[in-house]
Amino acid sequence: MRAVLETPRRRAGAGLARALLAAATLAAALAAAPGGTAAATPGPLEVVVELRVWQRVTDEGDIWVSARARGGDWRTLGTIPFPLEQGGYPDGRYRYSDLTVAGAELRLWRVRGEPAVVFACPDRCEAPRTLHTLPLGVVPLALDDGHSTGGWYRYGDLTLATYPHHPELDRDRLLLLRIGETLAGSGRLNWRIETPLSEWEGVTARGTPPRVRAIALASRGLTGTVSGLLGELTALEELRLSGNSLTGAIPSKLGRLESLTHLSVGGNSLAGCVPPPVRSAARNDLDSLGLPDCLPPTDISDGAHWIEGGSYLFHWHGRDPLIFDVPTGLLLQTGGAVHSPRATGLAWGLLLNRGDGHLATALDLQTAEEWTADVDPHTGVPDALVSWMIESAWLGAPDAPRTGPPVLRALASGHAGGILLDWTGLRPGASSWQYRMRGPGHAAWGEWIDVPGSGGVMTRHRLFGLARGATYRLELRPRPERPGVTYAARATTLEEGPDGIPRAVRGQELEEGRRFRVAETRYTFRVPRGLPLMLGNVWQEHGVTWIQFVESRSGAPFLYHSLLGGVQYSFAAGAPPDIWALWDRLEESIWDQPERHGSPTD
């Protein structure tokens, strides 16, 4: 921005009431200023706001602002105090204030403990969770564009284009900002927060009320992926993405586009399957992809599951089911429903962890938006696969079609380097079964192997002599073969200590009736029969060991305290009916048993 702005001056007694009055004055002054809503480029629906935010270097709460509509006069207002204290979270970490400029409503957020940055959005938005986990439309404004003459204040400039009288079109525009980042890859689009929508290449907005109706980006050199956020452009009629170098899958969320009549995605390198509802577009080139139709999403509502490369559904406490896609190459474990405070109250989300136990993301069960996302520890940028999965999330209808939960279990055996396959939950009808596996570091699957003696009622098979501490992918299929019928699972083999007791690892379901050690601790336990169990988190606090166990079908936790014993039971739908008695048996089996040489005893 080109402007000569007044440097903030300390004003005695400038409190919150005065700041709010100044905000009202700001809105009135800018709305009345000659040319305050005029602009050289934007159409009549658009308002382009230019904003400068000042912050005292030694006091992050001392905030001042100047603002105008493009074409207005900075001197109409000057620079006014604007402490961000109008509202926020009860803990005081996130605070905001609202202002109106030429009819455009803006919100500025401040995060306590993170000076030199504020967050702005052209609406009444939620707070940012981190610098890289931002709600839709929230833009970080780094206060690094310069300093006042005396160096007491730093400032940052930001330009925002918005549609204050057409909120649906404004949301379409904010969605496209995210979509463009995902689509472009190493290509380029001129979609920017400061640029009016009327200047964006390949985007057509029309109708009453105005909405984004067409996206025409054929042969534009795009190298990214197809974003699931396209499924939120509910008025979209045409989507032309052919002739680019897009990769990845077609998100199931695109099936929500009921107005879509033209879809062209050929000439890309898309993989996976085609969501059947997408084929309803009257003109489409989906057959040119040579991909099969997708199956309905797999229901994972009944507990903790390993998931990868497919569409999944989580239904919780009568809410509309959360549906999301997991890209190939991203292995996750569901962690059940968790709650978190928000400015609007308590919210519930689905926890998704990586295979190494680190958090990947949590998806809100009421809005399908993310709370947080895994970031690269070196660059601080969100993981691309996790981001794609987050964009694919949506809320389906209560009667949304689905397939049953995974029924092949791969348990860590009571002997180190062993896996127990259990398909007890599968319907009978096969004369025999075959399995195959893919070991660590191997890109290709092994050959199909007949399960000895599986023609009768046997539904278990042990694998011995595998690499210890390694993760294997396993598949099972019936004989004779039924097209498309294959069951998948994953297991990590265990290592053992000098006493021969296998060391349980976080997130791996364990064989019932066997004794295991709690990771590297001095404690051992026996898994009660009838209790599908995996080890959860283990931590030390003030000399006390805390051990979390998880009932693997329902996700119900049991927390053990090394001094007090069991201190928290939990019940969840899908857990065994006698889970209370099983928790008691588990607690009784926990021993303080340091590792020693020799054979394990019980």
> Would you call 436 helix, strand, or coil by DSSP?
strand
Distance CA 132, CA 382 (A): 7
Contacts of 40 (CB under 8 A, 6+ apart): 70, 71
Across 119-133, 335-349, 432-446, 488-502, the highest mean pLDDT is recorded for 488-502
So what's the pLDDT on residue 433?
A: 87
What does R_g of the chain's alpha carbons equal in angstroms? 28
So what's the pLDDT on residue 506?
A: 87
Burial (Cβ within 10 Å: 0-12, 13-18, ≥19) of residue 539: exposed
Distance CA 249, CA 261 (A): 20
266: how many CB neighbours lie within 10 A of its CB? 16
Smallest Cα–Cα separation from 439: which of 407, 462, 416, 463?
463
Of the ranges 101-105, 124-128, 134-138, which one carries the lowest mean pLDDT score? Answer: 124-128
Distance CA 371, CA 348 (A): 10
**Which value, to the nearest 10 degrees, does the dihedral of the CA atoms of residues 566, 568, 572, 575 take?**
0
Q: Name the CATH topology of 407-493.
A: Immunoglobulin-like (2.60.40)
Residue-wise pLDDT tens digits, 373-417 = 665 555 555 678 888 999 999 999 888 877 766 678 899 998 888
Instruction: Determine the residue type at 135.
Output: P
So what's the pLDDT on residue 73?
A: 82
In sequence order, what DSSP letters do the residues of 239-250 get, joined into one string? EE-TTS--EE--
Q: What's 530's DSSP letter?
A: T
Sketch the domain layout of the chain as residue ranges.
16-162, 167-289, 298-395, 407-493, 514-602
Smallest Cα–Cα separation from 253: which of 338, 324, 148, 328?
324
Distance CA 413, CA 411 (A): 6
So what's the pLDDT on residue 381?
A: 55
Distance CA 204, CA 158 (A): 26
Q: CA quadruple 568, 571, 576, 581: dihedral positive or negative? A: positive
Give the architecture-level CATH label for domain 167-289. Alpha-Beta Horseshoe (3.80)
Of the ranges 114-123, 247-256, 299-308, 362-371, which one carries the lowest mean pLDDT score? Answer: 299-308
**Is the fold of 167-289 the same as that of 407-493?**
no
> Would you call 346 helix, strand, or coil by DSSP?
strand
Q: What's 407's DSSP letter?
A: -
Q: What are the φ/ψ torsions at residue 502 (nearest 5 degrees)?
A: -65, 140
Element (H, E) at 409: strand 409-412
Task: Tell me: pLDDT of 54 over 90.
Answer: yes
Task: Tell me: pLDDT of 148 over 80.
Answer: yes
201 confidence band (pLDDT: 50, 70, 90): very high
Segment 9-37 mean pLDDT: 39
Distance CA 385, CA 332 (A): 11
Answer for the pair 535, 508: CB distance below 8 angstroms, yes or no.
yes
Task: Tell me: pLDDT of 166 over 60.
Answer: yes
Residue predicted with more confidence, 31 or 422: 422
Strand spans (E) along 276-376 = 283-284, 298-299, 306-307, 310-314, 322-326, 332-342, 345-354, 359-364, 370-373
Q: Checking DSSP bridges between strand 262-264 and strand 247-248, what pairing results, if any?
A: unpaired
Over the range 128-158, which residues count as b (16 or more CB within 10 Å of their CB) and which as e? bbeebbbbbbbbbbebeeeebeeebbbbbbb
454: how many CB neighbours lie within 10 A of its CB? 21
